[in-house]
Structure 1
Amino acid sequence: MGEKGSGNVIPQIDLQDFPGQYEKLREVCEEWGCFRLVNHKVPSTLMSEMKSVVRSLLDLPMEIKKRNADVIAGSGYMAPSEVNPLYEALGLYDMGNSQAVDNFCSQLDASPHQREVIGRYAQATYDLAMDIGRKLAKCLGLISSDAFEGWACQFRINKYNFTPETVGSLGVQIHTDSGFITVLQEDENVGGLEVMDKSGTYVAVHPSPGTLLVNLGDMATLWSNGRLRNVKHRVYCKEARIRVSIATFLLGPKEVTLEAPPELVDAQNPRLYVPITYENYRKLRLSTKLQAGETLALVRANY
């Protein structure tokens, strides 16, 4: 079960098979840092409706898309750039906040129907990201079930403007996600996403309608004291078709510093990283232009 590429298979986690999947979840997150999520609670009809809304928003005139302003650096509209010329995105910071969702919809002149779909989807994927976070904490032996309450959650809708001339080029550069967990609804028709396994081999992630892909980011590695793997990934242009994906990022605490819980630190496993807020970590990534997890080395604890 899963996708094959270079002899590897991306693991699958069945959300309806808990507590039976806790050990597998831990192993998968330590070895891969990503997994295919099946039997989740986001309805397939809602996923389909959201994809239609997203396509229409990304087709809006540039002057409207530019109204989608940053709340934190990089959280609003991202136009094609020199580094990623085929990629553009719209973003919503703090999707767990209904007022923030309303503001995002207003910026883009969303219709009542679009607002309703965006609101339902934001709530469903936010709840799912929080549930995955709690399950990750439990599989590492942590008792607290409210560890992620109040964490910021960001929403980003991505468009890759692939053309015949761009086949064979990168749609987005190799990177890790800066946050904790990413829940990704991929394009069900157009592939191109590749993740890097521990050997450094790229593994293709093929479209799988109705499922979601979960990636772990830099904050997961920091929070877990190095146990959980932040997965490197990229998007490759394999065919001349527009590719659209929808990402929900559980980032980290809004203002409180993030550090490994005491249960994950002992004499054999000393604290690897200094406490840091997510926003300061993100600023460090942006200022250093280190986008593939290397920024973690700059916040290592010194012993």
Structure 2
Amino acid sequence: MGESGVPTIDLQGFPGQYGKLRRACEEWGCFRLVNHNISLAIMADMKRVVRSLLDLPFDVKKRNLDVISGSGYMAPSQVNPLYEALGLYDMGSSQAVDTFCSQLDASSYQREVIEMYAKAIHGAAKDVARKLAESLGLSGDFFESWVCQFRINKYNFTPETIGSSGVQIHTDSGFLTILQDDENVGGLEVMNPSGAYVAVDPVPGTLLINLGDIAKAWSNGRFRNVQHRVQCKEATIRISIASFLLSLLASNEEVEAPPELVDSEHPRLYVPFTYEDYRKLRLTTKLQAGEALELKRIKS
């Protein structure tokens, strides 16, 4: 474990890591992933590409249009004035990757890096999700057709903003998030099992996995949807890359716990719902820290 206590999972250590993985998901809702299969060279190249894309003029960045609300360019706002982001919806689709690159006039080199990174991260997201299911004793490919989106983030921290929030407290709405954090600039904080926020300092070459609201619903409440935030620690630019395994958006298939996770001791906690309906619920209620999921809880 690191100084914050966030668990570390060795992707090369399975099957010996299943118990530790389940505890991390139940108690923390996040963990640091080491010995993953994504090359450090691709991670470094992607970081450089991301920085160059986020430095593009506003008129170019705003071409990155939404596929679903919030999936495209996000300019600094009143709620998050220090933050902006570009988004690629459905990184498993070569057409979606091509559209994203075309919107931003990406060079052939930038395209190649983005394509390699998207393929590698998409595979890692599915692999980690399968291992989460297996840690609960389940077998089968529950997540094969689930959409994976990424968002490249820039925090414009200044001397005047030190001590303020870069992004408000929230949970992620999807199943899991793979974060390549800024290896030089900290600021991410997660809520630990006792309810206190602890800093998650960057560890170069590793990835951070956060579980979101869909993971809590799908696991019938076993997994924790971790609340987190970004704090301004120093006057500098902070860059991160977040990839989200969401759920099914292309169909009306509903999110619900597999029957193996429901029994007399673990009654079903949430009504079935589509990710699209849940996403709209979060947007309309402005409940961003997991509270919206309680509106889907079955009333006893």
TM-score (norm 2): 0.98
Query: In structure 1, what residue type is equivalent to 2:97?
Result: V
Query: 1:206-245 counterparts in 2 under 5 A?
Result: 206-245=201-240
- Report the Cα offset of residue 162 of structure 1: 0.3
For 1:286, which of 280, 283, 286 is the aligned residue? Answer: 283
Distance 2:221 2:13 in 1: 26
Which residue of structure 1 lines up, in the alignment, with residue 166 of structure 2?
171
Query: In structure 2, what residue type is equivalent to 1:289?
Result: K
Could you say what secondary structure the match of 2:272 adopts? coil
Which residue of structure 2 lines up, in the alignment, with residue 268 of structure 1?
265
Could you say what secondary structure the match of 2:86 adopts? strand
Which residue of structure 1 lines up, in the alignment, with residue 21 of structure 2?
25
- Report the Cα offset of residue 253 of structure 1: 1.4
Distance 2:283 2:171 in 1: 13
- Report the Cα offset of residue 83 of structure 1: 0.4
Q: Give per-residue Cα distances to partners, 1:258-284, cap 9 Å, x unaligned.
A: 100000001111110011111111110
Which residue of structure 2 lines up, in the alignment, with residue 149 of structure 1?
144
Distance 2:69 2:281 in 1: 11
Identity of matched residues, %: 72
1:187 paired to 2:182: yes
Distance 2:162 2:50 in 1: 23
- Report the Cα offset of residue 12 of structure 1: 0.2
1:104 paired to 2:100: yes
Q: Give per-residue Cα distances to partners, 1:144-183, cap 9 Å, x unaligned.
A: 1x11011011110000000111101000000000000000
Which residue of structure 2 lines up, in the alignment, with residue 45 of structure 1?
41
Query: In structure 2, what residue type is equivalent to 1:246?
Result: I
1:69 paired to 2:65: yes
Query: In structure 2, what residue type is equivalent to 1:181?
Result: L
Distance 2:13 2:190 in 1: 25
Distance 1:223 1:16 in 2: 26
Could you say what secondary structure the match of 1:253 adopts? coil
Query: In structure 2, what residue type is equivalent to 1:218?
Result: D
1:246 paired to 2:247: no
Which residue of structure 1 lines up, in the alignment, with residue 199 of structure 2?
204
Q: Give per-residue Cα distances to partners, 1:101-155, cap 9 Å, x unaligned.
A: 00000000000000000000001001000000000000001111x1101101111
Could you say what secondary structure the match of 2:128 adopts? helix
Distance 1:213 1:137 in 2: 18
Which residue of structure 2 lines up, in the alignment, with residue 116 of structure 1?
112
Distance 2:46 2:276 in 1: 28
- Report the Cα offset of residue 199 of structure 1: 1.6
Query: In structure 2, what residue type is equivalent to 1:281?
Result: Y
**Structure 2: where are the runs of 5+ without partners?**
none
Could you say what secondary structure the match of 1:172 adopts? strand
Distance 2:189 2:39 in 1: 26
- Report the Cα offset of residue 238 of structure 1: 0.3
Distance 1:210 1:27 in 2: 23
Distance 2:242 2:112 in 1: 18
Query: In structure 1, what residue type is equivalent to 2:76?
Result: P
RMSD, matched Cα: 0.7
TM-score (norm 1): 0.97
Could you say what secondary structure the match of 2:209 adopts? strand
Could you say what secondary structure the match of 1:13 adopts? strand
Distance 1:301 1:262 in 2: 16
Could you say what secondary structure the match of 2:246 adopts? strand
Query: In structure 2, what residue type is equivalent to 1:208?
Result: V
Query: In structure 1, what residue type is equivalent to 2:192?
Result: D
Distance 2:89 2:10 in 1: 28
Q: Give per-residue Cα distances to partners, 1:209-232, cap 9 Å, x unaligned.
A: 000000000000000000000000
Query: In structure 1, what residue type is equivalent to 2:154?
Result: K
Distance 1:99 1:155 in 2: 15
Q: How many residues align?
A: 298
Which residue of structure 2 lines up, in the alignment, with residue 301 of structure 1?
298
Distance 1:205 1:116 in 2: 31
Could you say what secondary structure the match of 2:247 adopts? strand
Query: Where has structure 1 moved over 2 Å in runs of 4 or more?
Result: none
